[in-house]
């Protein structure tokens, strides 16, 4: 087994070009569990730990797009200024593992592993994020919806590196909620991210851990837009929020497994979606002044 400790994106790409079957490691919180328990045979590893470029983020003031390097740790997303730009991402980051895990884990790892329970993925889905991929020959951008293909399967080609992900700065409430068997250090049994775009007058909701990939409840989003005006502060009654939750739950396809049951997951989604919509209605006034104006 060999390990290449890349110090630049170019070095990592040439190592990948030479050996497309190599496993990529950033924080190690997924791959090392497989290695420690002999669940995978790892022959070659390209480590991204020392690639400083992957740990940077950049806010484009003109396009209001935030580009987050694939190696930026969750700990940084919890703090200002990223917390203020993408509050839902901060909320999701705060639920990832422990402080030790959040110092190591990254969106690149979440996307690379592509578990339906990845905490960052519903946020990326609700924000219609773009995944930036590079190989030694080319660069391409893929919508996060197309990037997530199945359980632990994604659209990354073996010679490609996830270098960054871009999300828009959105004016309006955004939040993330998840349910597990306890309050901390837990992998989601079900999760949801809701983004209210107060200017465009849309609500987007993505559901995690309830299908092979993260699900966008698009029919529910479209239905909600016919029920109430979503420009500015949305007016949401308890009845409307309850039906919103029920409709969102109907759009997922959960399974029974060691973490939960399909029935419970469906119920959890209906509650999480309902709560997030009510939060959007109650907190929107306080949260529309974030990010660049």
Question: In the numeric block, which tokens belong to residue 46?
Answer: 């390209």
Q: Contact region for other proteins (CB under 8 A) — 40-48, 133-141, 194-202, 270-278?
A: 40-48
Question: In the numeric block, which tokens belong to residue 85?
Answer: 């730009």
Binding residue (CB under 8 A) for other proteins from 27, 71, 87, 168: 27
Instruction: Please report whether residue 19 would count as binding other proteins according to CB under 8 A.
Output: no
Q: Which of residues 165-204 bind other proteins (CB under 8 A)?
A: 184-185
Measuring CA to CA, which residue among 9, 2, 282 is closest to residue 161?
A: 9
Residues in Cβ contact with 80 at an 8 Å cutoff, skipping those fewer than 6 apart: none
Residue 192, SS3 per DSSP: strand
Beta bridge partners of 161: 134
Instruction: Please report whether residue 226 would count as binding other proteins according to CB under 8 A.
Output: no
Instruction: Please report whether residue 49 would count as binding other proteins according to CB under 8 A.
Output: yes
Q: Note whether 259 and 288 are within 8 A (CB).
A: no
Q: Which is nearer to other proteins, 54 or 280 (CB)?
A: 54
Measuring CA to CA, which residue among 6, 17, 189, 23 is closest to residue 95?
A: 189
Instruction: Please report whether residue 83 would count as binding other proteins according to CB under 8 A.
Output: no
Q: Note whether 291 and 171 are within 8 A (CB).
A: yes
Instruction: Please report whether residue 47 would count as binding other proteins according to CB under 8 A.
Output: yes
User: Treating both helix axes as pointing N-terminal to C-terminal, what angle do 238-250 and 218-227 enclose, rounded to 10 degrees?
Assistant: 160
Instruction: Please report whether residue 101 would count as binding other proteins according to CB under 8 A.
Output: yes
Binding residue (CB under 8 A) for other proteins from 16, 75, 214, 215: 75
Instruction: Please report whether residue 103 would count as binding other proteins according to CB under 8 A.
Output: yes
Instruction: Please report whether residue 32 would count as binding other proteins according to CB under 8 A.
Output: yes
Cβ at position 278, least distance to other proteins in Å: 25
Residues in Cβ contact with 152 at an 8 Å cutoff, skipping those fewer than 6 apart: 113, 114, 115
Q: Contact region for other proteins (CB under 8 A) — 44-52, 55-63, 122-130, 150-158?
A: 44-52
Question: In the numeric block, which tokens belong to residue 223?
Answer: 């239905």
Cβ at position 183, least distance to other proteins in Å: 9
Rounded Cα–Cα distance for residues 77 and 110 (Å): 14
Instruction: Please report whether residue 97 would count as binding other proteins according to CB under 8 A.
Output: yes
Q: Which is nearer to other proteins, 33 or 200 (CB)?
A: 33
Question: In the numeric block, which tokens belong to residue 151?
Answer: 């359980």
- Which residue carries 């992900």 as its tokens? 165
Measuring CA to CA, which residue among 159, 173, 121, 186 is closest to residue 280?
A: 173
> What character string, x for contact with other proteins (CB under 8 A) and - otherwise, covers 130-159?
------------------------------
Size of the site for other proteins (CB under 8 A): 32
For the stretch 179-184, contacts whose Cβ atoms lie closer than 8 Å and that sit 24 or more positions apart, written own/partner, are 179/268, 179/271, 179/272, 180/259, 181/259, 184/98
Instruction: Please report whether residue 9 would count as binding other proteins according to CB under 8 A.
Output: no
Q: Contact region for other proteins (CB under 8 A) — 96-104, 169-177, 210-218, 266-274?
A: 96-104
Binding residue (CB under 8 A) for other proteins from 9, 22, 25, 123: 25
Q: Which residues make up the interface to other proteins (CB under 8 A)?
A: 1-5, 15, 25, 27-29, 31-33, 35-37, 42, 45, 47, 49-50, 73, 75, 97-101, 103-104, 184-185
């Amino acid at each position: 087994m060999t390990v290449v400790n890349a110090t630049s994106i170019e070095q990592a790409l040439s190592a990948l070009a030479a050996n497309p079957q190599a496993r990529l490691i950033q924080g190690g919180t997924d791959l090392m569990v497989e290695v420690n328990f002999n669940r995978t045979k790892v022959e070659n590893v390209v480590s991204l730990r020392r690639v400083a470029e992957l740990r940077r983020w950049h806010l484009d003031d003109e396009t209001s797009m935030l580009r987050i390097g694939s190696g930026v740790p969750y700990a940084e997303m919890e703090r200002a200024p990223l917390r203020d730009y993408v509050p839902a991402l901060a909320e999701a980051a705060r639920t990832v593992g422990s402080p030790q895990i959040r110092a190591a884990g990254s969106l690149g790892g979440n996307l690379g592993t592509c578990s339906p329970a990845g905490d960052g993925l519903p946020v990326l889905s609700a924000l219609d994020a773009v995944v930036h991929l590079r190989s030694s020959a080319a660069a391409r951008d893929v919508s996060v919806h197309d990037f997530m293909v199945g359980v632990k399967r994604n659209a990354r080609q073996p010679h490609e590196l996830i270098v960054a992900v871009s999300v828009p700065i959105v004016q309006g409430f955004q939040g993330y909620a998840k349910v597990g068997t306890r309050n901390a250090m837990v992998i989601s049994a079900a999760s949801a991210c809701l983004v209210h775009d107060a200017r465009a007058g849309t609500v987007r909701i993505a559901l995690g851990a309830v299908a092979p990939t993260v699900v966008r409840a698009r029919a529910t989003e479209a239905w909600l837009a016919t029920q109430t005006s979503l420009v500015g502060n949305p007016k949401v009654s308890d009845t409307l929020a309850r039906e919103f939750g029920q409709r969102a739950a109907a759009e997922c396809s959960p399974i029974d497994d060691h973490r939960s049951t399909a029935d419970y997951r469906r119920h959890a989604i209906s509650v999480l979606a309902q709560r997030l919509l009510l939060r959007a209605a109650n907190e929107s006034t306080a949260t529309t002044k974030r990010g660049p104006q």
